[in-house]
Structures are given as C-alpha cells and as structure tokens.
Structure 1
Amino acid sequence: MISPKTISENIRYWREQRNYKQAYVANQAGISRRWYVSLENGIVIPKINHILAIAEVLNIEPELLFKKEQKIGKSLEEGDVEEKVKQAIRKALEKLL
C-alpha cells in the first residue's frame, strides 16, 4: 500500500524538478496554497481529483505520484493528458475495488 508520505514526497519532488513555487501549483490546480502546503508536509491526504489536477499542472503521468522511487519520468504531450488522466482514474478505481 502506498503511504500518504510517499505521495507528498513525490509531489514535492516533481514540483521542485519543474522549479515551480507551491503557490503556482496550488493556483493552477484550483486548490488553496495553505491546503497544498499541508499536502506537501503530509498533513492532509489528497483525493483522486487533487492528484489528477496536480499531475496535470506538473505535466507528469499521475501514477508517478504513487511510486516509491522516482526516476525521471516522461512529460506528457498536450494531446496525451486526457488519455493519461482516464488511465490513471481506471487504475486507481481498480486498486480500490
């Protein structure tokens, strides 16, 4: 099982790889900066819609946020974002069922 800490660390990792500020990611993802900071600090647990929005802002595949070890992942081409989001939702639902 993936821990919330892993997700938080991965979100921070990818944000820093992109040289984005926390406020920028939060704003672009449609969430408050305060909540986003709590997320990166492992205080709150994101819902799937948060994961998908943050992954889109970071231009990464959502499943990268669930990996225990990060490697340089592929950025998404603009046309691939929608398909990758659909795939991530299916995978998340399969794990829940």
Structure 2
Amino acid sequence: MAFTPLHDRVLVERVESEEKTSGGLIIPDSAKEKPAEGVVVAVGAGVKDDDGDRIALDVKEGDKILFGKWSGTEITLDGKEMLIMKESDIMGIIA
C-alpha cells in the first residue's frame, strides 16, 4: 500500500534495539522498551507559511532519527508496524 504523509508529518519505521547489553546479558522481550530510533520512510511536502510558500522539512527519506519515547501514532502498513509523527517530535538525525 502506498502511503504519503501530509504537511509536516513523517512516516517512520522503528529500528530494533540490541538483544544484549554491553556486559553480555540477554534482554528478554518482556523487559525491552520500544526503541526511540527509527528510519524515515516517507515525508510530507511541508507546511505553508503566511504567504502561502511551502516550508520544506529538515528530514528526508532514509534518515536515521531519534524521537521521543511517546512520540507518534502507531499504524500498520503492509504488515509492518510504523509510526506517523510530526517533524517537531523528532529530536535529531543520527549521523
């Protein structure tokens, strides 16, 4: 299914977290937190300013991002769990 976010919204796929700690302990599924990192899958065209000019988003498809723990709305597209969030919910781009 093709999906295009509107305005300043971004479609994000979560990046799975590590299954082991740095000390080598295995983290069970019940103890894992949902990761706050993801990859941008699609972006909207941006919002319009008072003059009607479109303001482009700072993120683009393929960017690895960091977002807030409670950011976005969870949806399922083609059997994959994704998030839709506003660009303002994104804290930064991971280089």
Task: Calculate the TM-score normalised by the size of structure 1.
Answer: 0.24
Structure showing greater radius of gyration is 2
Larger relative contact order (CA 8 Å, sep ≥ 6): 2
Please state which structure has a larger fraction of its residues in strand.
Answer: 2
